[in-house]
């Protein structure tokens, strides 16, 4: 009898920033280890699966990957206090649990492949890989006698934060806001972090989001049934944190650093920005983007525009409408609402004055291709982990401009520990002024800048480390092989 290949189900939370690394994990398991993958997509009636989400799952190799789109859940009863993107992501996952249970039960009851099975017969389901936003899925999986894993699409420091959150909660007990902590937070493998640099979405200890996070953290710490934590990172970028995690979980749950998992195979048509980059000098362009959800206030967009102009450097800027209420207002949105005219909210005459030297494109750019283009020499980024890894893989140095989630934590590491980024300073009112922006841009981009030279050299070294981690005998390749071997052993039992 032929041994069946392992079949796993993966459940990313809504939002393309989580779906991309989940899909890339699936791609590598399928192509390099013969694993079969079912990816389960959750959504809501007000945020259906975006075109970007559909493109991500449609790019996966067939026939060994299948996608299940669950019925969208409703938020008609949602209170304003739970209407933020983070709360909506968690609620989308929790309200999808009945549908998730139905799909997993159906997959778990599928008969195993044998030597006489047809190609259309699915392999047996052996494991479930859940997003950290969906801890309840782990109980469903265990009830169906399936092995459970948690995949952190972000880095090892984010995992470490969640595993230490119950202890941090005790330390922070006298304070309502984490930013009010009087002493830096020191955890194994971390640089010292101020309370205000910790996860932005759970700064307020009184919020439902914070309380859910503490409950999830306690679950992760105490649940001995979790077989492993998979992180989108690699040893050289977070060696001390990963070693500390592995020591903490020694003999229990296994830590698998399998990154960098970055988006591949962007099959978009040639875009305006790529054609424009073709006509710029090598390494001369600063790419400016705040990810799939980041937004700036009207005043900050104005300051950034003038800073770019004053710097005298070439730039490619992915522009979104300003939002004065939220730094992640676009996180779950699938695209611009109607035509987006940058001239509507950029300073008068800015586009005309910077024509030829700069290009502002609305809402989206093929980021992987932009960062891999020879004309791109720097990246002003929100420090989301997907963007950070793409920058590392392409060897593009950074200007760190964190907005939300774990991005301030990432920025501290990128600037202070890895020294691959520069960071502009905000004023007392929270605004980063045009003069500061221009100075930092010139420091990164100009050949005569000693600061820029140091950052560029460190990023080149980190790019080499990322390449080595993914090589045939690299640390991430070995970690993925160990994970795949464990999955294959489940089908043999």
Q: What's the pLDDT tens digit per position in 467-481?
A: 999 999 999 999 999
Query: What value does the mean pLDDT take over residues 82-93?
Result: 81
Same domain, 334 and 243: no
Same domain, 167 and 44: yes
Say if 115 falls within a structural domain.
Answer: yes
How many other β-carbons are positioned within 10 Å of the β-carbon of residue 32? 12
Tell me the residue length of the chain. Answer: 493
At residue 364, the pLDDT reads 87
The pLDDT-based confidence of 118 (bands split at 50, 70, 90) is very low
pTM: 0.93
At residue 121, the pLDDT reads 60
Say if 316 falls within a structural domain.
Answer: yes
Order of strands across the sheet that contains 358-362: 358-362, 314-319, 285-289, 376-381, 398-400, 421-422
Same domain, 241 and 279: no
pLDDT above 60 for 243: yes
pLDDT digits (tens, 9 = 90+) for 173-194: 999 999 999 999 988 898 999 9
pLDDT above 70 for 100: yes
List, as one string, the DSSP characters of 287-303: EEE-TTT----HHHHHH
What's the number of domains the chain is made of?
Answer: 2
Same domain, 239 and 298: no
Same domain, 343 and 397: yes
* Three state DSSP letters for 158-190: HHHHHHHHHHHHHHCCCCCEHHHCCCCECCCCC
Query: What value does the mean pLDDT take over residues 244-256?
Result: 78
Same domain, 282 and 192: no
Closest CA to 28 of 265, 196, 229: 265
Same domain, 459 and 479: no
pLDDT digits (tens, 9 = 90+) for 441-454: 999 999 999 999 99
Q: Write out the residue range of the structural domain in which residue 393 sits.
A: 272-467
Same domain, 199 and 229: yes
At residue 115, the pLDDT reads 30
Same domain, 212 and 312: no
CATH, residue 35: 3.40.50.2000
Say if 1 falls within a structural domain.
Answer: no
At residue 336, the pLDDT reads 52
Catalytic residues: 18, 131
At residue 120, the pLDDT reads 55
pLDDT above 60 for 320: yes
pLDDT digits (tens, 9 = 90+) for 278-299: 999 999 999 999 998 899 999 9
Say if 264 falls within a structural domain.
Answer: no
Say if 43 falls within a structural domain.
Answer: yes
The pLDDT-based confidence of 52 (bands split at 50, 70, 90) is confident
For 301, 305, 350, 402, the CA distances from 433, given in Å and listed in that order, are 10, 10, 16, 15
At residue 112, the pLDDT reads 45
pLDDT above 50 for 117: no
Say if 267 falls within a structural domain.
Answer: no
Percent of the chain past pLDDT 70, that is, above it, reads 91
pLDDT above 50 for 113: no
Same domain, 367 and 312: yes
Say if 17 falls within a structural domain.
Answer: yes
At residue 493, the pLDDT reads 60
The pLDDT-based confidence of 2 (bands split at 50, 70, 90) is low
pLDDT above 50 for 5: yes
Query: What value does the mean pLDDT take over residues 37-46?
Result: 94
pLDDT above 80 for 359: yes
Say if 2 falls within a structural domain.
Answer: no
Mean pLDDT is lowest, of 167-176, 194-203, 269-278, 283-292, for: 269-278
Closest CA to 156 of 241, 90, 229: 241
Same domain, 33 and 120: yes
Query: What value does the mean pLDDT take over residues 151-174?
Result: 94
Mean pLDDT of the chain: 90
Same domain, 232 and 110: yes
């Amino acid at each position: 009898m032929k041994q069946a290949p392992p079949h796993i189900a993966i459940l990313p939370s809504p939002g393309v920033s989580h779906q991309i690394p989940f899909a890339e994990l699936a791609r590598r398991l399928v192509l390099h280890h013969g694993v079969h993958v079912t990816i389960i997509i959750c959504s809501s009636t007000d945020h259906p699966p975006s075109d970007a989400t559909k493109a991500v799952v449609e790019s996966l190799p067939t026939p060994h990957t299948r996608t299940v789109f669950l019925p969208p859940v409703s938020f008609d009863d949602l209170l304003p206090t739970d209407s933020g993107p983070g709360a909506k992501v968690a609620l989308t996952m929790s309200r999808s649990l009945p549908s998730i249970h139905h799909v997993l039960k159906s997959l778990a009851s599928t008969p195993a492949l044998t030597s006489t099975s047809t190609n259309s017969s699915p392999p047996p389901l052996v494991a479930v890989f859940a997003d950290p936003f969906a801890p309840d899925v782990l109980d469903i999986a265990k009830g169906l006698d399936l092995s459970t894993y948690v995949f952190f699409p972000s880095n090892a420091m984010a995992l470490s934060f969640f595993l230490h959150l119950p202890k941090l909660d005790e330390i922070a007990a006298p304070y309502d806001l984490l930013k009010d902590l009087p002493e830096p937070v020191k955890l194994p493998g971390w640089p010292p972090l101020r309370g205000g640099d910790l996860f932005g979405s759970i700064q307020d200890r009184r919020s439902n989001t914070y309380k859910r996070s503490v409950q999830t953290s306690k679950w992760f710490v105490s649940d001995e049934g979790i077989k492993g934590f998979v992180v989108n990172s690699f040893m050289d970028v977070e060696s001390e944190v990963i070693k500390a995690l592995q020591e903490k979980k020694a003999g229990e749950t296994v830590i698998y650093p399998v990154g960098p998992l970055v988006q591949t195979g962007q099959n978009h048509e040639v875009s305006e920005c790529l054609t424009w980059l073709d006509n710029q000098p090598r390494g001369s362009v600063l790419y400016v983007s705040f990810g799939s959800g980041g937004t700036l206030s009207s005043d900050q967009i104005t300051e950034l525009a003038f800073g770019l102009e004053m710097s005298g450097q070439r730039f490619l800027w992915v522009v979104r409408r300003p939002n004065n209420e939220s730094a992640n207002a676009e996180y779950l949105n699938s695209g611009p609402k109607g035509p987006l005219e940058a001239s509507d909210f950029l300073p008068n005459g800015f586009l005309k004055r910077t024509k030829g030297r700069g290009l502002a494109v609305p809402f989206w750019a093929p980021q992987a291709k932009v960062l891999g283009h020879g004309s791109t020499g720097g990246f002003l980024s929100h420090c989301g982990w997907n963007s950070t890894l793409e920058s590392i893989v392409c060897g593009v140095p950074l200007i760190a401009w964190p907005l939300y989630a774990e991005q301030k934590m990432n920025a501290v590491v990128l600037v202070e520990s890895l020294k691959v980024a520069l960071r502009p300073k905000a004023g007392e009112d929270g605004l980063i002024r045009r003069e500061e922006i221009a100075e930092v841009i010139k420091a990164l981009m100009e050949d005569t800048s000693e600061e820029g030279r140091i950052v560029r050299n460190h990023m080149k070294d980190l790019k080499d480390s990322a390449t080595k981690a993914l090589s045939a005998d690299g640390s991430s390749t070995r970690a993925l092989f160990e994970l795949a071997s464990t999955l294959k052993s489940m089908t043999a039992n």
